[in-house]
Amino acid sequence: MKTRFAPDRGLSSRMLITSFLLGLLYVGFVALLIALTKSAVLAVVIAGGALFVQYWFSDRIALYAMHGRIVTPEEAPELHGTIDRLCALADMPKPRVAIADVDLPNAFATGRNPKNAVVCVTTGIMRRLDQDELEGVLSHELSHVAHRDVAVMTIASFLGVLAGLITRFGLYGGLGRNRDQNTAVIVLTIIAVSIVVYAISFLLTRALSRYRELAADRAGAMLTGRPSALASALTKISGDIARIPSRDLRQAEAFNAFFFAPAISGKAGASLSSLFSTHPSLEKRLDRLGVLSRELGEQA
């Protein structure tokens, strides 16, 4: 699907490489499942079933977890109107539109492809941003849909989840019931490899997530022609997120990779390393938007 969002070859190549590497990990993981369950059929059913659910129902799962609901044009005319204009400008299919009734100011896009995508905004972000700023955020989210990186991130995150589940199963299930030394060694080996797979998957998805946010910032700002509006939205949201109760931020952290801006609990700068971050730093995003604003000759 071709749209008027600026293409990003760097993003496309990174998605391809990440998908290939995760595919190799996935094949290896199925082999581990076969060793753990001693049944190739059961292993394929477990892995395939989990992937099927995550791929086909990721939008519903995300909406349910964030207390979001699909809204009609009659229920949210201004929001629908903005998305209608942006989709017409980008020459792309209109995704379903949802609102999550939470104070956390954020937005996210999900779905397996552009025809089955959902763009969700929170009531918190709608209260805080003006029309131009909200348009910048929505353009950013629509670019994720157009670039198809939402689907890649959904599949990429699946492997890490599966690795974590197998690690728990091995620790609390198989290891506790098996007293045979050889079996215990096998289970420990599977757990160790699962941890390695989880770590590799974690780092790959984080690296892709950071790049795709910069790509969406650029593509979204180029579509609207107002990088300053997106920069203003980023500044507002990042400042207001710091004032959200830590309990609410911890509940939302699982969706950081999909959010417009990360929900970070605790004090700013508490992260051990940017290597583990789902998003580039606010300073880097603002710097990139500033450069783009000068390139486009945007008026202050």
Query: What are the tens digits of pLDDT across the range 133-150?
Result: 999 999 999 999 999 888
The pLDDT tens digits of the residues spanning 51-99 come to 677 667 777 877 887 889 999 999 999 999 999 999 999 999 999 999 9
The pLDDT tens digits of the residues spanning 161-192 come to 666 656 666 555 554 455 566 666 766 776 67
Tell me whether residue 67 is annotated as binding: no
More confident residue, 227 or 114: 227
Determine whether 81 is exposed, middle or buried from the number of CB atoms within 10 Å of its CB (0-12, 13-18, 19+).
exposed
More confident residue, 107 or 43: 107
pLDDT tier for residue 267 given thresholds of 50, 70 and 90: very low
The pLDDT tens digits of the residues spanning 232-253 come to 999 999 988 878 887 777 777 7
**What average pLDDT does the segment 150-160 reach?**
72
Asked whether the beta carbons of 223 and 87 are under 8 A apart, the reply is no
pLDDT of residue 155: 72
Distance, CA of 276 to chain centre = 14
**What average pLDDT does the segment 261-266 reach?**
71
Where in the sequence numbering do the catalytic residues fall? Answer: 141
Asked whether the beta carbons of 218 and 11 are under 8 A apart, the reply is no
pLDDT tier for residue 8 given thresholds of 50, 70 and 90: confident
Mean pLDDT for the chain overall: 81
Tell me whether residue 140 is annotated as binding: yes
Range of lowest pLDDT (139-143, 227-231, 278-282): 278-282
User: Which one, of 204, 71, 230, 206, lies nearest residue 142 by Cα?
Assistant: 230
More confident residue, 216 or 110: 216
The pLDDT tens digits of the residues spanning 36-62 come to 666 666 666 766 776 677 667 777 877
Tokens read off for 229: 């509006």
Tell me whether residue 80 is annotated as binding: no
pLDDT of residue 161: 60
